[in-house]
Each structure stands twice: as C-alpha cells, then as structure tokens.
C-alpha cells in the first residue's frame, strides 16, 4: 500500500486544532467525533521528528490515550498498549479489524505500538473501543 504524505511535516509550522480540521476538509467531522467520543479532555501538538511530523497527543484526564497524525485525506491514530490491554484487545471479537495490525506490531519497553487509519466513519468504532480499553474501562 502506498504511504500517505504527512500533512504537518514542517517543524516551523506548528498546527492547532482549527488548522487540523481545515486540513481534513470533509473528514474534519471524523476528528471531532474521535475527540468527543473518546472523552479527550486535553491535547497538545508535539514534533518528534521529520518522519512523524506534528503529532497530536490526546489525553483523558491525566491518562494518555493515543496520538493522532494527519496523513493524506484522513488521520492515523497511534496506540501503545501494555501486555494486559493487548491481550484484552486480541480477545475482543468486536476489534477483529485491528487484530492483524496489533499482532504484527513491534513491542517496546512501554508496550506494543500500532496504528489505526481513519479515512471514513466506519473506522471510528475500533478507535472508541480501543480508547476505552486504554482508559481501563
């Protein structure tokens, strides 16, 4: 599959949520839904490097839930799950769409990191469910 171009790759141009929504165009409502349905109470833009561009760190209270990276016509949601959360996701039949990506993902000291691409409304349900698991619900 062809890799999509990052929307905010220039370190000198720090985005904000309004700019992100504008860049997404007709898919802006998807980002708004993710933020609302996952209970995001705090978010901050961070620049980790040229290969990842500006990334939106999303939290619920003090709990870091996921990172959002705008790419192409949509966005990528990055999760890092500990062993227990990973096992819970792999046992959940409602999350079958992410099982392959999670199983193939690289494991780090802090957990297993993987990406869920959001390009249409149908892509939202796994994000909400994963955020619930990550939040410990």
Q: Kindly report the length of the chain.
A: 137
For the chain, the farthest-separated pair of C-alpha atoms sits apart, in whole angstroms, at 43
| Exposure class string for 41-66: b at 16+ Cβ within 10 A, else e | eebebebeeeebbbbbbbbbeeeebb
Q: How far is CA 16 from CA 26, 32, 76, 96, 125, in A?
A: 18, 13, 17, 33, 25
Q: Would you state the pLDDT for residue 137?
A: 73
* φ, ψ at 91 (rounded to 5°): -90, -10
Model confidence, pTM: 0.92
* Run of H or E including 5: none
Domain boundaries, the chain: 17-132
* Better-predicted residue by pLDDT, 95 or 136: 95
Reduced to 3 states (helix: H, G, I; strand: E, B; else coil), residue 65 is: strand
Class of the 17-132 domain?
Answer: alpha beta
Distance CA 109, CA 20 (A): 31
Percentage above 90 pLDDT, the chain: 80
- The mean pLDDT of the chain is 91
Bridge partners of 74, per DSSP, are 71
Burial class, 20, CB count within 10 angstroms (exposed 0-12 / middle 13-18 / buried 19+): buried
What is the per-residue pLDDT across 57-87, written as a single tens digit (0 to 9) for each?
Answer: 999 988 999 999 999 889 999 999 999 999 9
Q: Would you state the pLDDT for residue 1?
A: 42
Confidence of residue 3 (pLDDT cuts 50, 70, 90): low
Q: Would you state the pLDDT for residue 51?
A: 87
Sequence-distant (6+) residues with CB within 8 A of 23 are 7, 8, 15, 70
What is the per-residue pLDDT across 102-115, written as a single tens digit (0 to 9) for each?
Answer: 999 999 999 999 99
Residue 7 has pLDDT above 90, yes or no: no
What is the per-residue pLDDT across 44-59, written as a single tens digit (0 to 9) for each?
Answer: 999 998 888 999 999 9
């Amino acid at each position: 599959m062809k890799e999509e171009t990052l929307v905010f790759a220039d370190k000198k141009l720090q985005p904000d949520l309004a700019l992100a929504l504008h860049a997404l165009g007709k898919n802006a409502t998807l980002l708004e839904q993710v933020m609302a349905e996952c209970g995001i109470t705090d978010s901050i833009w961070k620049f980790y490097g040229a290969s990842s561009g500006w990334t939106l760190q999303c939290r619920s209270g003090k709990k870091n839930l996921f990172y959002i990276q705008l790419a192409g016509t949509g966005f990528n949601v990055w999760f890092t799950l500990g062993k227990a959360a990973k096992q819970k996701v792999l046992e959940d039949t409602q999350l079958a769409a992410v099982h392959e990506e999670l199983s193939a993902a690289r494991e780090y000291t802090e957990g297993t990191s993987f990406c869920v691409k959001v390009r249409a409304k149908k892509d939202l349900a796994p994000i909400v469910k994963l955020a619930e698991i990550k939040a410990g619900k």
